[in-house]
Amino acid sequence: MKNLITILFVGLISFSVNAQEKAAKIEFKTEVIDYGTIEKGADGVRVFEFTNTGNAPLIITKVKSSCGCTIPSKPKGPILPGETGKISVKYDTNRVMPIRKTITVSTNAANAPTIALKIKGLVVDSSKNSILDKKNKSVLEKN
């Protein structure tokens, strides 16, 4: 009877060890990049860095933006376990306006098959005064 219990116990342990599948896992350094306030025409390229913390190759299958003003690019090949990769994002800084965009990343990662990365900031044109600047200037002159 003890032998039977021992055999069942060893069999159960070996079954659970074999049942653990290899899977890719993705971890980003940050999921939000803040451009801050930048000038019109400034460099709009930023990079999201990530690491494959799993035990299988990580494949980025698709990267798309919520707007045509934001162009993401993904790694060409698989990211092996323990390696890092980059997703570059280029925002069109000729658009003078607040930046609030989402980049959707599709992967084979077990922990996050779809990830929403975000960029934010403000593009300004210092050669032009805004209505708010003129209003603030007139208030200061009155005081």
The CATH number assigned to the domain holding 31 equals 2.60.40.10
135 domain residue, yes or no: no
C-alpha 37/C-alpha 48 separation (Å) is 19
Asked whether 107 and 89 are in contact (CB, 8 A), the reply is no
Domain count, the chain: 1
Per-residue confidence (pLDDT) for residue 8, from 0 to 100: 47
48 domain residue, yes or no: yes
140 domain residue, yes or no: no
Give the residue with greater pLDDT, 5 vs 54. 54
Q: Which residues are paired to 48 by β-bridges?
A: 87
* Tokens coding 125: 């044109």
Residue 43 lies in domain = 22-124
Q: Tell me: the pLDDT tens digits for 12-61?
A: 454 444 446 899 999 999 999 999 999 999 999 999 999 999 999 999 99
Give the residue with greater pLDDT, 138 vs 26. 26
57 domain residue, yes or no: yes
Mean pLDDT, residues 69-92 taken together: 96
Per-residue confidence (pLDDT) for residue 1, from 0 to 100: 57
C-alpha 26/C-alpha 78 separation (Å) is 12
Per-residue confidence (pLDDT) for residue 32, from 0 to 100: 98
pTM of the model: 0.75
Of 97, 99, 98, residue with least CA distance to 89: 99
Per-residue confidence (pLDDT) for residue 16, from 0 to 100: 47
Q: Tell me: the pLDDT tens digits for 98-133?
A: 999 999 999 999 998 999 999 999 999 988 765 555
11 domain residue, yes or no: no
133 domain residue, yes or no: no
Per-residue confidence (pLDDT) for residue 140, from 0 to 100: 47
101 domain residue, yes or no: yes
130 domain residue, yes or no: no
Give the position of tokens 């306030």: 37
